Structures are given as C-alpha cells and as structure tokens.
Amino acid sequence: MERNYTTQMDAAKRGILTPEIKTVAEKENMSTEELMELVAKGVVAIPANKNHKTLSPEGIGQGLRTKINVNLGISRDAADMDLELEKVRTAINMKAEAIMDLSNYGKTHEMRKKILEISTAMLGTVPVYDTIGYCEKKLKDITKDDFLRVVRQHAEDGVDFMTIHAGINRATAQKVKDNRRRMNIVSRGGALLFAWMEMTGNENPFYEYYDEVLDIFREYDVTISLGDACRPGCIDDATDPAQISELIVLGELTRRAWKKDVQVMVEGPGHMALNEIAANMIAEKRICSGAPFYVLGPLVTDVAPGYDHITSAIGGAVAAANGADFLCYVTPAEHLRLPDLDDMREGIIASKIAAHAADIAKGVKGAREWDNKMSDARREIDWDKMFELALDPEKPKAYRASSVPREENTCTMCGEQCAVKNMNKILGGEDIGI
C-alpha cells in the first residue's frame, strides 16, 4: 500500500494512523489518539525507516517504557562479522529494542544489510564512522558531498536512526579550546569532526548543510539522533561550557528538524557525578523542547573499569527516573576492548534493570504490576512462576539448581526458618513446626 505521508511525524500532524503508530500504541497500552498527539509534538519518536521491512516498531519518549540500545560492530582489530551477527541475534532474543551498528572497518554495507534482514529491533548508525573507509580518502580530504553521500547510503539501506554530530560547530569547538577539559572530546564522531574542522578550516558540514541532511532523513523517514560530541568523558568534565553550549545548539537543531517533520532524539552524557544527573535531565528537556533524550550511562564514577555496566546502570536509572527516555547500554568491557557475547549479556541485563527501575519511578503504565506479580509468586513460593517473571530466567534457575534445599518450599539460605513459609503457615492457622 502506497504511503500518503512522508514521516511518522508528518502522519501524526495530519491525523493519519500509520501501522507503526498502531503497533506502538498496542505495545504501550495507550490509545492511538494519545500517541499520535505525542508524536506530532515531537516528544515521542518512532524510528522506522520505510525500507526496514523486518522492523517491529517501538516508541521512545514521554510516557512510554524506557528503551535500551545495544552497540556492536566490526573494527580493524576485531573484524569477525559472524560474531557481531550472533550478538544481534542475542540482543533481539534478550528483547533489546534497538541496535547500533558502529562498524568502522571493511564491508560495513554488507554488515548493515545482514542486520536489517534479521533485525526486528530498530537499527542505528553513525555515518561519520563509515566515511573514511567508504570514500577511501584521508579525513582532511573528505568533502561535504562525501559526508552526505554516506548519510544517503545508510538511509537507503534502511537505517532507522542516525547519530549526526551537528552541534559541534566552530563556535562550540572554540569553547573546547578555551575551556580545557581533563579528557578533551571522547566522542569518536565528535573528535573526527573537530579534527576535520581544525585541518580544513571549514565549518562542520552537518551543521552548515543541516537542511540537506534533514531532506534525506525526511525522504526515508529516518529519525535524527543529535549526537553530543561534547559529552563529558569523565565526571570532572560534566556540565562544563562545551557541553552546555552544544546542548543549546542541539535545541535549535531539534526545532528546525520538527519544522521539516523529521523526528528527533537528543543524545546526552557521558560521565557525570550522581548529584548532577537530575538537573542535567531537566535542562536538556527544557532546552530541547521535550524531545526524547538518549543517554550513554551516565557513568557515575571513573574508577571501576571492568564494572562499568554497574556504574552506568546506577546513572541510567537516575537519568531515566528524571526524564531520559532511551539508555545506551554499557558493558563490563567499556574502555577496555570490544565486548564479547558474555559482556553484551551483562550490559543488556544491567541496562534493562535500570530502565525498569526508572519506569516504576516514572509511573509508566504496567511497570509496577510486573513487580507485584513477582512478589505474589514469592509469597506463594511458586518457583516456576518466579522464573517465568524474571527479567533473565536462566540465571535464577541456575542458582536454584546449584544449591538444592531439603525442603522444596525453602532455599538453602534460611531453610526451615524461611520467613515467607512460616508466615504463610502461622497466618493460615498452622504450627510452623520448629
């Protein structure tokens, strides 16, 4: 059936019920009318490229469940495409809502094509990573047309959202030079564009030719994820002049995108002390007119390499409880190496815990009911039901099987002194037998 709209936002503004809006409304237990209004305002995005045929769409934003993203992709030092595709399948099985292919080496087009053939999750990319290999040029020799050609290729392939670092213009870059940071710029895309501007003397092409970028996004119904090139890479750099000045630019770019019916997400920190997170979330939502906020972490301490899935989950829960809508997972391998499958699983679980904890705090419809069902199963000492309701059923099953109690309705920690069992008995008029 031929589309009579350009993007999900265009359809929502004109009162057209798209299949994607209908599906997301059902997933979120929300009326299509309410969801359509949120999409029309831009406070909810439904990333859904018209060429991604296997997609099961999800909504990101106000009033919806907090979603999580899984990063993967090949690099020069870790170019096993089969392993990365196994990560894709694992992420989908673990119900991650989004996957970002951050491949920056070799046959990136083939990698994207294979992901899009199998992925029901939305797919994101960062085209600037791909430009050097795609164009077979040195960074300083890449032109504005080269950058836009790669963006168009990703859109044609079916990518649902792309990170575009348009906020680091020459004025923002000067803020970085004038206010030296402990960790400088840690965004890969941001550092590449900063270097390109320094080497060429030109304005960031994604900022200077932003309208041309938006035209491509509108044509394919791609959601723009406005990258935070100046996100803090350590807690000491958080909420500094570069981060805040870039955020102001991102707010302006958000409203320009909406005028062209292009859906927007805004990316955020980074590393940040616990006590700064809530204020940052409020500032982002205010400056960017309520656009969905996509955060990497934030990691709340810098001293836990090997455990950064935990530092990220702490920050992610606080961020999402205070307004963030989309969490990019962090694995135990962060800052150390490309994550393997086990790292990825740990990162997904940590992020899903953070997202769900935040949904309870935000009062998202149905979030607390899941916990109440688990509590009922625990009171009834119904192990099978507990496993069924668990976020990761396999791990509790394995723990239970590894240490079998004498009595089935207890565990090996409390045994016959189990408070739950004994309260059930005494309130039922029975002797607890000890």
- Binding site: what residues are annotated? 71, 100, 129, 165, 187-189, 228-231, 267, 271, 294, 335, 411, 414, 418
Residue numbering of the annotated binding site for Zn(2+)? 271, 335
Where b means 16+ CB within 10 Å and e means fewer, 364-373 reads beebeeeeee
- Tens-of-pLDDT digits for all 434 residues of the chain? 578 999 999 999 999 999 999 999 999 999 999 999 999 999 999 999 999 999 999 999 999 999 999 999 988 888 888 999 999 999 999 999 999 999 887 778 899 999 999 999 999 999 999 898 888 899 999 999 999 999 999 999 999 999 999 999 999 999 999 999 999 999 999 999 999 999 999 999 999 999 999 999 999 999 999 999 999 999 999 999 999 999 999 999 999 999 999 999 999 999 999 999 999 999 999 999 999 999 999 999 999 999 999 999 999 999 999 999 999 999 999 999 999 999 999 999 999 999 999 999 999 999 999 999 999 999 999 999 999 999 999 999 999 999 999 888 899 999 999 999 999 999 999 999 88
Strand 44-45 versus strand 161-164 pairing type: unpaired
Residues annotated as binding site for substrate? 71, 100, 129, 165, 187-189, 228-231, 267, 294
For CATH 3.20.20.540, the residue range(s) in the chain are 45-362
Contacts of 303-312 with C-beta under 8 Å, sequence gap 24+, read 305/334, 305/335, 305/336, 306/332, 306/336, 307/332, 308/332, 308/334, 308/335, 309/334, 309/346, 309/347, 309/350, 309/351, 310/350, 312/350, 312/351, 312/354
The DSSP annotation for 97-108 comes to SEEEE---SS-H
Residue 330 makes CB contacts below 8 A (sequence gap 6+) with 296, 297, 299, 308, 309, 311, 312, 313, 347, 350, 351
CA distances 242 to 180, 193, 245, 372, Å, are 9, 15, 5, 44
Yes or no: say if 125 and 101 are a contact pair by the CB < 8 Å rule: yes
**What distances in angstroms separate CA 384 from CA 329, 342, 389, 393, 408, one per listed residue?**
29, 25, 9, 10, 12
User: What is the secondary structure of 366-381 as a DSSP string?
Assistant: THHHHHHHHHHHHHTT
The CATH classification number of 45-362 equals 3.20.20.540
CA distance 388 to 394: 10
Binding-site residue set for [4Fe-4S] cluster: 411, 414, 418
The reply to whether the predicted model has a pTM over 0.85 is yes
- One-letter amino acid for residue 41 of the chain: K
Amino acid letter for position 413: M
Q: Could you tell me the two tokens for 307?
A: 């455990």
Query: Measured between alpha carbons, how far is 143 from 126 in angstroms, rounded to an integer?
Result: 17
